[in-house]
Amino acid sequence: MKKNFLMKLEYRGTDFEGWQIQAKGRTVQGILSDCLSKFAKERINLIGAGRTDSGVHALGQYANFTTEKPLMPSDVKYKLNRMIPDNIVVLSCREVPLRFDSRKGAISRSYRYLISEKLSALNVNFSWIIGRRLDISILNDMAARIRESVHFDNFCKVKSRKYSNDCVILDAGWSRYGGFLRFDISANRFLHNMVRLLVGSMAAVEKGKLKIEKFYELLENKTDEKTKYIAPACGLYLLDVKYEGINA
């Protein structure tokens, strides 16, 4: 009988050319698909909840696959963790309805961006090392405007712009925790590079390189000028994905 399995994954994006399988380069989806295919002894089509770019990490990526083999969720988790490299971890695995699709079924996604306000030799691949204390009140003023915004045409790669670049922001805000300044944002969808462009632009405003009025014009779509400020990939994490009726 055909089964559908949903996995929750964590991975270190530094070591990969992103999530999605490519013609060249090491990808998370590629490694997982190959290991699953060897384990199940059939070609596995692994569907991810979302794509992450090269260098972007995941604390809560989700992916599902179907198989005709009589596998158990606990066996999938145990066997796969023994096969994959240590920069990827299967955190959980469960059986879900056959109609479930981890990409199409997602109702919201959450990302976190980490900034290190202290110089660090250890966190260089896991945060944006700025090395000075930022004004969090200014950053949160901008985050409040992001929560009210819908049009994000100016905060995505030009080649990835679609007919509609509208996103429903569910939450967005800055906080300090564990020695990091972090930006958390949740939405029904995200555009390519959207979070990194938002963070890069807010950091540019805080530093005085971009006027806050200009940032608000970009948010309100009052200009066709796309922002040029982008935060590095190393500080970005796919935090979580939510589904209707599925306790992932």
Q: What is the pLDDT of residues 188-219, one digit of tens each?
A: 999 999 999 999 999 999 999 999 999 999 99
Is residue 174 a part of any domain in this protein? yes
CB atoms within 10 A of CB 143: 20
Q: Say how many Å lie between the first and final Cα of the chain, rounded.
A: 22
Is residue 246 a part of any domain in this protein? no
C-alpha 227/C-alpha 217 separation (Å) is 11
47 forms bridges with which residues in the sheet?
64
Residues 122 and 75 in one domain: no
C-alpha 2/C-alpha 52 separation (Å) is 29
Residues 217 and 136 in one domain: yes
Longest Cα pair distance anywhere in the chain, in angstroms? 61
Question: Which member of 34, 53, 153, 166 is catalytic?
Answer: 53
**pTM of this prediction?**
0.94
Beta strand 128-129 with 106-116: parallel, antiparallel or unpaired?
parallel
Is residue 225 a part of any domain in this protein? yes
Letter for the amino acid at 121?
A
Residues 157 and 94 in one domain: no
Is residue 230 a part of any domain in this protein? yes
Residues 236 and 164 in one domain: yes
Q: What is the pLDDT of residues 69-101, one digit of tens each?
A: 999 999 999 999 999 999 999 999 999 999 999
Ranges of H-type helices in the chain: 28-40, 73-83, 136-148, 194-207, 212-219
Is residue 51 a part of any domain in this protein? yes
User: Can 53 be counted among the known catalytic residues?
Assistant: yes
Confirm if 194 and 167 have CB atoms less than 8 A apart: yes
CATH number at residue 52: 3.30.70.580
Number of domains in the chain: 2
Residues 120 and 233 in one domain: yes
Q: How confident is the model at residue 160 (pLDDT cuts 50, 70, 90)?
A: low
Residues 113 and 236 in one domain: yes
Is residue 233 a part of any domain in this protein? yes
Residue 174: closest CA among 112, 241, 129:
112
Confirm if 90 and 110 have CB atoms less than 8 A apart: no
Confirm if 187 and 169 have CB atoms less than 8 A apart: yes
Q: How confident is the model at residue 157 (pLDDT cuts 50, 70, 90)?
A: confident
- Of 104, 134, 155, at which residue does a domain stop? 104
- Tell me the residue range of the domain where 171 lies: 107-241
Q: Percent of the chain scored above 90 by pLDDT? A: 89
Residues 78 and 126 in one domain: no
Q: How many helices (H) and strands (E) does the chain have?
A: 5, 9
Q: Which helix (H) or strand (E) holds 193?
A: none
